[in-house]
Structure 1
Amino acid sequence: MLAALALAQFICSFAGSNMNVMITDISEDLDTTVQGVQVAITVFLLVMAALMIPGGKLTDRYGRKRCFLTGLIVYAIGALLSAAAPGLGVLILGNSILEGVGTALLIPPVYILTTLLYPDVTSRARAFGVVMALGGIGAAAGPLIGGLITTAISWRAAFVFQALVIAVIVLLSRRIDDPLPPDPTRSFDTAGAVLSAIGLVLVVMGILAADNNVWLMIALLVLGALVLGWFFRSVRVKEASGQEPLLSLSLFRNRTSNLGLVTQNIQWLLLMGTSFTVAAYLQVVRGYDAIQTGVVFTAATLGLLASSLSAERLARRHPQRTLVMSGFVLSIAGVVILIVLARSFSTAWAFVPGLLLIGVGLGVMLTPSVNVVQSSFPEEQQGEISGLSRSVSNLGSSFGTAIAGTILVAGLTKGAYAAAMIALAVIGLGGLAAAALLPRDPRPPTARASTSAAPRANT
């Protein structure tokens, strides 16, 4: 069961980063630009972020396993359509839209089922460690695997690879049993789903418009903020009248969870922003091909794998706040090293130390951040918090690609690489500040009592 859930997280994270090494190949084959490929990547991440909350809510009504399988099928259709895309428009339909929708349906069940199937904090930390390890590896190794496939066969074969992995996951998922029965009587806030999706789309599109039209950027950001304000107002009205909104405002009254969500958002922003910036710089400025770019990212993959698989042991020995703070310190140091060494040396080895540190740092903090958030709520709210958690994380991925990518494509030969990386480092400092505010033992009292026999378990 855990293999199916972890592989699902792997392939969705892989899809978000493997296109970074195909920028040149896709743009030449489909007669588009670097910015066109950036839009496709960002829209994929944005669709996931915008629909993750509704996707989490649907699991209560239709069941976690059914939503999981439906998402896998929609994702596979999108991957095969992307493989046959004759132009950028069809690629966006297959990769950005269908794969994004499929991911929004299948990812919330991954985190809900992991939380429900592993009830004690220590075993849950181990399970989340495996899921987050494969998710991080998918994001970090995406450039390497995508580069190998692109160089050996074609960029289109990378999408066929995704469809084949989905087929394996479907077979493995037959062993999964849904711990909670679906409730067909649960209402679904369609208006809230539309408002939240539109608001998030407008905000990210505003960031993407920064390098073309500042006034358009401001207009989109303001409009997005207004729509999101309208969404939260509708939530308050529905709760006051006794109706069930898309998202309960009580989720935002948990200070520990709020801080955990901030750290999740910035972690994925750092991962995807760094991945896009370094990959685009290596290909467009230094002329690396897909396989050369992918090999450089092996350092991040190895670092993330080593630290993620140690999640259970680290959770026993150190407070989760310490782990998250340490992860941010390592990641920010990695970004700084990437800036300094890339300026001083022309060899590809100059990127290895920084990427390795970023991989280790992200691997150290991804699991505790997720565990903090998921463990802050009871079983009946797992659907809501899982959708919110994944939406916030994928929104971070969208912000990372949009912010760093917008700075980068504005002037690849004019110091934009350093500017993009500096922006990521500054945002990382915000994540470190949020992590410092986490309590030493963020678990609720019931969780602390249930694990008091385990020496320093996840404290």
Structure 2
Amino acid sequence: MRRWHALIVLGTAQFLMVLDTSVMNVSISRLVEDFDTEVTAIQAVITLYALVMAAFMITGGRLGDIFGRRRVFLTGMAVYGTGSAVTAAAPTLGVLALGWSVVEGIGAALVLPNMAALVAESYRGRDRTVAYGVIGGLAGAGIAVGPLLGGWTTTYLTWRLVFVGEVVVVLAVLAFRGAIAERPPAGRAPRLDAVGAVLSAAGLGLGVLGVLQSGTWGWVEPRNAPFTVLGFAPTLFVIAAGAVVLAAFRSWERRREARGADPLVHLSLLGRPALRAGLTTLLNQNLILLGLFFAIPLYLQVVQGFDAFETGLRLLPVSVTMLAASLAGARLGRRAGPRRVVRFALLTLLASVVWLLAAIDPVIDDGPFLGAMGLLGAGMGLLASQLGGVVQSGAGEGERSEVGGLQFTAQNLGSALGTAFIGSLLVGALATAFTTRVEDDPRISEQARQATGVALEAGVAFVPTGQVRAAAERAGLPPDEVDALTDSYASAQLDGLRAGILAAGGITLASFLVTGRLPAGRSGQGGEAAEARPGTPDHP
């Protein structure tokens, strides 16, 4: 029993990381109310958290190679606990973003890749397989507990208590740090590629920033942009700047390798077809999941008026079926091979998107909605059971931190892009649909249309229809026009939600294009594949 003490400590850290994101996603409405802000601002905070993790995950893994994985893991836990304390006491949205998005994000980037490497170091053979299975199970437990715990605490107490609890858990992990052992590294410790770390973070940051702001700035025609470029919205130019910086990062890394210097990441790893396909599918999985789990709580809380606990109850089928499918998928993958399981999982996700589109109505019908949620969780669980193993199966012992960094970078980049892209598309579709419906409704006067157009130029927010009604009444509109504007906005909300969900379906369909590179044979037949761990995706 003593040999599993390290796993208990490391698994607790994994549970904490998954639980944290779950709380924020079911607390969107309360956060909007507490900080007197808009949904798009909370969207930015959630996106920034995932982006910070994605930007620094490779660096976090490399720091473990340089300074020791145990030391960096424990440092990351201390940073994470500090961020949790700041978040719990945050008086403003800016402090919330600093504590949760930045400080906790950096802490997680130090913890996660080194946690994966420490598990691999601590166990061998069958014990390693069991250890990774437990880590995946604890991630699934966080997925299952998160929405309910976060929803109940947010509704009946305060979301801040969850972060106070996180500080207590971090202190417990640090108190039992002696359970984690680490073998001294063989050979010379690599040097940190600081220029590569800055270039990778800047490139990813610019790309996600452009996608995040597209709903506000517009893609081509400027709407509410702080500046324009040759008369066009800055969105595509910011994204292009991110692509240029990432190209410079790739060139820099190749030059360092050619000189014999230590790169931030060995780009040759990305030349392995199975690894590249696994990372791409992993990115898409989290893009779909986090995109949907930004849109769906909006539907439940803003459109339907449910509180955080009621929202958590309706998300519970995703958590339950995801955990069950992840456990069943591991056995299925050993028989059918990862490629078949991933393709079946993508088909399951497509079916859930179609079902969800049909379930999005002004008045929710819990039966179809919960069925769609259950199917969504099953598809995600099957993906989770395969992708982490595919990514890790080609990694040698000396590459585990680096490959772990790539794995968690893909996961969190997908999370950031999912929240940013689906969120901006949702808001953009809402604005377009609202404009069209106002123009086409004969009950609305030309004066009211013009006033609405002026208001939309300043940007549109995803708010309860009651706020739209109150604004129309304050503007002095007659009752029939107030009703017409409110009805138009309510219909536009559903159009925006359907657009976001449909985009997730399109990404799912596109994911089939890379599945041909995934391993087709049975897994678990020896070698590293037998010791690969199941995926542990970020979950809201």
Structures share fold, TM-score greater than 0.5: yes
Partner secondary structure for residue 37 of structure 2: coil
Instruction: Return 279-288 or 343-352, whichever deviates more.
Output: 343-352
Q: How does 1:205-224 map to 2 (within 5 A)?
A: 205-213=209-217, 214=219, 215-224=233-242
Aligned to 2:115: 110
Partner secondary structure for residue 287 of structure 1: coil
Aligned to 2:162: 158
- 2:518 counterpart letter in structure 1: L
The alignment-based identity, stated in percent, is 38
> Which one of the candidate residues 375, 379, 383 is aligned to 2:401?
383
> Which one of the candidate residues 256, 261, 266 is aligned to 2:274?
256
Partner secondary structure for residue 235 of structure 2: helix
Partner secondary structure for residue 31 of structure 1: coil
- RMSD in angstroms over aligned alpha carbons? 2.3
Unmatched 5+ stretches in structure 1: none
Asked whether the 8 Å contact 2:43–2:419 carries over to 1, the reply is yes
Deviations 1:167-209 (A, max 9, x none): 3333454322124538774210001000000000001001011
Aligned to 1:22: 27
- 2:179 counterpart letter in structure 1: R
Matched, 1:189 2:190: no
Asked whether the 8 Å contact 2:288–2:508 carries over to 1, the reply is yes
Task: For 1:306 and 1:141, locate their aligned partners in 2 and report how far apart those are by CA, in whole Å.
Answer: 14
Asked whether the 8 Å contact 1:52–1:388 carries over to 2, the reply is yes
Aligned to 1:299: 317
Instruction: Return 275-284 or 12-21, whichever deviates more.
Output: 12-21
Partner secondary structure for residue 177 of structure 1: coil
Task: For 1:345 and 1:182, locate their aligned partners in 2 and report how far apart those are by CA, in whole Å.
Answer: 62
Considering only CA atoms, is the larger Rg found in Structure 1 or Structure 2? 2
Equivalent pairs, count: 450
Asked whether the 8 Å contact 1:64–1:178 carries over to 2, the reply is yes
Give how far 1:393 is off.
0.9
Asked whether the 8 Å contact 1:72–1:102 carries over to 2, the reply is yes
Asked whether the 8 Å contact 2:349–2:375 carries over to 1, the reply is yes
Instruction: Return 334-343 or 256-265, whichever deviates more.
Output: 334-343
Task: For 2:37 and 2:212, locate their aligned partners in 1 and report how far apart those are by CA, in whole Å.
Answer: 17
Aligned to 2:38: 33
1:193–1:341 CA distance, 2 compared to 1 (3 A): same
Task: For 2:172 and 2:203, locate their aligned partners in 1 and report how far apart those are by CA, in whole Å.
Answer: 35
> Which one of the candidate residues 343, 346, 349 is aligned to 2:364?
346
Matched, 1:440 2:515: no
Asked whether the 8 Å contact 1:203–1:225 carries over to 2, the reply is yes
Task: For 1:134 and 1:160, locate their aligned partners in 2 and report how far apart those are by CA, in whole Å.
Answer: 20
Matched, 1:370 2:388: yes
Deviations 1:387-406 (A, max 9, x none): 11110111011111111111
- 2:148 counterpart letter in structure 1: L
Q: How does 1:289-438 map to 2 (within 5 A)?
A: 289-343=307-361, 346-410=364-428, 411=430, 412=462, 413=490, 414=492, 415-438=495-518
Task: For 1:451 and 1:94, locate their aligned partners in 2 and report how far apart those are by CA, in whole Å.
Answer: 38
1:406–1:318 CA distance, 2 compared to 1 (3 A): same
Q: How does 1:220-259 map to 2 (within 5 A)?
A: 220-259=238-277
Matched, 1:277 2:300: no
Unmatched 5+ stretches in structure 2: 1-5, 220-232, 431-461, 463-489, 535-540
After TM superposition, the score normalised by the length of structure 1 is 0.92
Deviations 1:15-55 (A, max 9, x none): 22321221121111112111111111100000000000100
1:334–1:167 CA distance, 2 compared to 1 (3 A): farther
1:248–1:362 CA distance, 2 compared to 1 (3 A): same
Partner secondary structure for residue 297 of structure 1: helix
Give how far 1:366 is off.
1.1
1:158–1:435 CA distance, 2 compared to 1 (3 A): same
Task: For 2:362 and 2:215, locate their aligned partners in 1 and report how far apart those are by CA, in whole Å.
Answer: 28
Aligned to 2:174: 170
